[in-house]
Amino acid sequence: MVGRTRFIGDVIYSIGVSGLIYPIFGHWCWGPDGFLATMGSPGHFLSGLGMNFHDFAGSTVVHSIGGWVAIAGALALGPRLGRKFKRDGGGPMMPHDLTIAVVGGLILWFGWYGFNPCSTLSIMDAAGVGRVAMNTTLAACTGGIAAVFLVVARVKKWDPAAMVNGFLAGLVAITCPCYWVSDVGACMLGAVAGVLVILAMDLLEHLRIDDPVGAWPVHGVCGIWGTLSLGLFADGRYSAAGSSPYGVPNIVPKSADALTGLFYGGGFKVLGAQIVGSAIVCTATFVSSMAMFWVLNQVKLLRLSKEGELEGMDLDQHGISAYPEYVISTLAAPHGEASALGGKAPAMSSAALASSK
């Protein structure tokens, strides 16, 4: 939604997302009486399924929700001014500041070590914390590598944006199954996420949906993949309840108490529960988000004015230039993935050309 959303619209929808969507849908999955948390048990939702929904640190509860809010916002807003898609002879617009983007991505990666390992709820489960941290690292690495090499195979360029979205895709995917998979499983599901994020960006380009930073490919698509991957890669050695809040590691022999995925002989039971939970949360998020953005559009609080977008959001919304010390050049055309999609550098205005001289 960046580049064309009014600041007041950001504030209002953020209240709706953090005050209603996340708490309600999160409770479905993580609340002790949430209907997805108790799903499959006698007397509860889909009792015949025999398995409840699992999401250790939030591939669905955090990331899929965010991703589907993002795509709803992108659809409600429409493309940025000047955005021309590949099917129409264009391609992605020039990035704002790729250096800051890479640094921001690495900061996110660092933050994931609080996000995933601390979801064990007790550092006394040292084995669980270490395994989660290891799996988080491996999935991020393979996701970044897979995305970069896919782009290299296409355009023969080492694209830093693909690297960042690739390792974020791996991080998002591993967030759900990080406690229950092995190191090999983490590497495999991370690599798949790195490929999926690039393909999902291609899909948005084909559908003429403007997602400037790949929010839906990273968080929406790879959030779903990570959630479903538990039903494939859970290796059957760890308790379905995950880590104990009392510091007691839940390592069990293969039994009914362990989560076992399809690739480890567990059948489709876990995968089925993950499909049901992911579908319900993603659908509910998208529908409620579209309703919220429709209301904001009706009262004209969501989309920036044409004049404001042309002037720049820093000046129009905040009254001051973000970078008064230098002029951002528009002369350098990209040669990486954006170039392959048909991106062209926009023409430099006479005023900008004069100021650059």
Q: Predicted confidence band at 328 (pLDDT cuts at 50, 70, 90)?
A: low
Range from 65-79, 206-220, 309-323, 336-350 carrying the lowest mean pLDDT: 336-350
Domain boundary among 280, 297, 314: 297
Q: Does residue 1 lie within any of the structural domains?
A: no
Mean predicted confidence (pLDDT) in 318-344: 61
77, 37: one domain: yes
Range from 88-92, 133-137, 156-160 carrying the lowest mean pLDDT: 88-92
Specify the pLDDT at position 255: 53
Mean predicted confidence (pLDDT) in 322-339: 59
Closest by alpha carbon to 262, among 308, 296, 215, 230? 230
19, 163: one domain: yes
246, 317: one domain: no
312, 270: one domain: no
244, 340: one domain: no
352, 211: one domain: no
Specify the pLDDT at position 164: 97
205, 320: one domain: no
Q: Does residue 2 lie within any of the structural domains?
A: no
Q: Does residue 142 lie within any of the structural domains?
A: yes
Specify the pLDDT at position 335: 56
Domain boundary among 267, 297, 327: 297
User: What 3-state DSSP class applies to 212?
Assistant: coil
Q: Does residue 41 lie within any of the structural domains?
A: yes
Q: Domain of residue 347: give its range.
A: 306-356
Q: What is the rounded CA–CA span in Å between residue 312 and residue 161?
A: 23
Domain boundary among 248, 275, 297: 297
CB 309 within 8 A of CB 88: no
Other CB atoms within a 10 A radius of the CB of residue 197 amount to: 30
347, 214: one domain: no
Judged against a pLDDT cut of 70, whether residue 341 lies above it is answered with no
186, 265: one domain: yes
Q: Does residue 123 lie within any of the structural domains?
A: yes
Token output for 261: 């995925």
Q: Predicted confidence band at 99 (pLDDT cuts at 50, 70, 90)?
A: very high
Specify the pLDDT at position 336: 57
Pairing of strands 258-260, 235-239: antiparallel
Closest by alpha carbon to 240, among 55, 46, 114? 55
CATH number at residue 160: 1.10.3430.10
Closest by alpha carbon to 71, among 240, 282, 254? 282
321, 289: one domain: no
Q: Does residue 323 lie within any of the structural domains?
A: yes
Mean predicted confidence (pLDDT) in 191-220: 97
172, 316: one domain: no
Q: Does residue 181 lie within any of the structural domains?
A: yes
State pLDDT tens for residues 164-187.
Answer: 999 999 999 999 999 999 999 999
DSSP string computed for 178-211: TTTB-HHHHHHHHHHHHHHHHHHHHHHHHTT---
Specify the pLDDT at position 124: 81
Token output for 305: 């004015």
318, 244: one domain: no
Q: What is the rounded CA–CA span in Å between residue 145 and residue 34?
A: 37
Specify the pLDDT at position 241: 79
Among residues of the chain, what percentage have pLDDT more than 70? 87
Mean predicted confidence (pLDDT) in 109-118: 95
Q: What is the rounded CA–CA span in Å between residue 236 and residue 259?
A: 5
Specify the pLDDT at position 333: 52
Specify the pLDDT at position 127: 87
Q: Does residue 251 lie within any of the structural domains?
A: yes
Residues in the chain: 357
Q: What is the rounded CA–CA span in Å between residue 150 and residue 120?
A: 34
Judged against a pLDDT cut of 50, whether residue 354 lies above it is answered with no
State pLDDT tens for residues 295-308.
Answer: 999 999 999 999 99
Judged against a pLDDT cut of 50, whether residue 266 lies above it is answered with yes
Specify the pLDDT at position 240: 83
Mean predicted confidence (pLDDT) in 30-54: 95
Specify the pLDDT at position 122: 80
Q: How many domains does the chain fold into?
A: 2
Judged against a pLDDT cut of 90, whether residue 337 lies above it is answered with no
- Alpha helices by DSSP H, listed for the chain, are 7-16, 22-30, 65-77, 98-115, 126-155, 160-175, 183-206, 215, 222-233, 269-298, 306-311, 313-318, 337-340, 350-356
Judged against a pLDDT cut of 80, whether residue 132 lies above it is answered with yes
Specify the pLDDT at position 184: 97
